[in-house]
Amino acid sequence: MLKLHSCLFIFCILAMHINTQAQKIDLFAETGTSVTTDVTTSIFKTTRIVNGQSIENVGAGVLDFRILHRFGPISQGGYNLFGLDQATMRLGLDYGITKKLMIGIGRSTFEKQYDAFVKYKIVSQQVGQHNFPLSISYVGTSIYKSINDLSLTYQPYTSDRFSFAHQILFARKFNDQFSLQITPTLLHYNIVENRTLPNDFYSLGIGFRQKISKRVNITTEYFYRINKLDGYYDPLSVGVDIETGGHVFQLHVSNSTGMTERTFINETTGSWAKGDLRFGFNISRVFTLRKPKELRNIKW
């Protein structure tokens, strides 16, 4: 297995190489030619497929207040109103620094986790004078688990509570109806339960969007864990995206409870085969903090 620093080095080399190629296809250069390049947009309808990051960014100067909400297990039956009596949620703020660079912070009720991430669009799918078949982004996430674990016999260091996720997003919009994304992921735990466990866990995510009508899309997201923690299951989420007045309201069913990369990829306790599923939804409200004319001189 590669060590964490080796994987980060590979990711950085890949990003620099692709970004170098992207510099050769300056979409916004002022030239005298009439040949243009069309950049593919709306590969997905929002910045999240379900739990995981999609290839999309919020616009430059735009703040997105986002709520991810998950009810309890449907299998609990009518006594708990099929999970509606229980809920976990993540409140987040995402902000577009430029059209390529996006940052975000969040707080989850599940395990009282805090998270922060950065997403950078390395290159965009495009046709015309220059062609590139994929959109590629990098996402780096830091997660802090603040809940007190009463089973521990020692006082953990602050650094022990951190874990990190590194992801490369490869996405393609095949046509107006169908988009696909592949997400290689590295999860790093600063500390694990015992010495037999690795600190690094690898997984491969796949997600897609299928258009049903002008305002309705079906989305699916699955992560295959290459090396696994015992007692957990691969996460699978199926959702419906509904566009309403410029916003996207996401309804979904998932076997995961947590909504950070650590918890929904590597620590999902529910099983589809056992009917341990949860209803959930994602909603957002965007605010334009900087107008486009204020961003003209920012070129990243």
Q: Is 259 helix (H, G, I), strand (E, B) or coil?
A: coil
What DSSP designation does 184 have? Answer: E
| Cβ proximity of 75 and 276 under 8 Å | yes
> What CA–CA distance (Å, rounded) separates 107 from 259?
10
Nearest to 244 by CA among 41, 45, 43, 42: 45
Domain ranges of the chain: 4-26+36-147+158-285
The pLDDT value given to residue 244: 82
Q: Which tokens is 256 given? A: 């995961």
The pLDDT value given to residue 205: 97
Measured CA to CA in angstroms, residue 112 lies from 50, 72, 165 at distances of: 20, 17, 18
Nearest to 117 by CA among 89, 98, 99, 95: 95
What DSSP designation does 59 have? Answer: P
The pLDDT value given to residue 293: 61
| Cβ proximity of 52 and 207 under 8 Å | yes
Give the residues of the chain that fall short of pLDDT 50.
1-5, 8-13, 15-16, 18, 20-33
Q: In 237-265, which positions are buried (b, 16+ CB within 10 angstroms) versus exposed (e)? A: bbbebbeeeeebebebbbbbbbbbbbbbb
The pLDDT value given to residue 275: 85
Q: What would the pLDDT profile of 33-67 be if each residue is shown by its tens digit?
A: 456 889 999 999 999 999 999 999 999 999 999 99
> What CA–CA distance (Å, rounded) separates 5 from 244?
43
Measured CA to CA in angstroms, residue 236 lies from 32, 64, 221, 233, 254 at distances of: 50, 25, 6, 9, 6
What DSSP designation does 200 have? Answer: E
The pLDDT value given to residue 80: 78
Q: Which tokens is 299 given? A: 């070129």
The CATH superfamily assigned to 4-26+36-147+158-285 is monomeric porin ompg (2.40.160.40)
Alpha helical stretches, state H, the chain: 4-23, 261-266
- Total-model pTM: 0.83
Q: Which tokens is 140 given? A: 């780096």
Burial class (CB in 10 A: 0-12, 13-18, 19+), 219: buried
Burial class (CB in 10 A: 0-12, 13-18, 19+), 223: buried
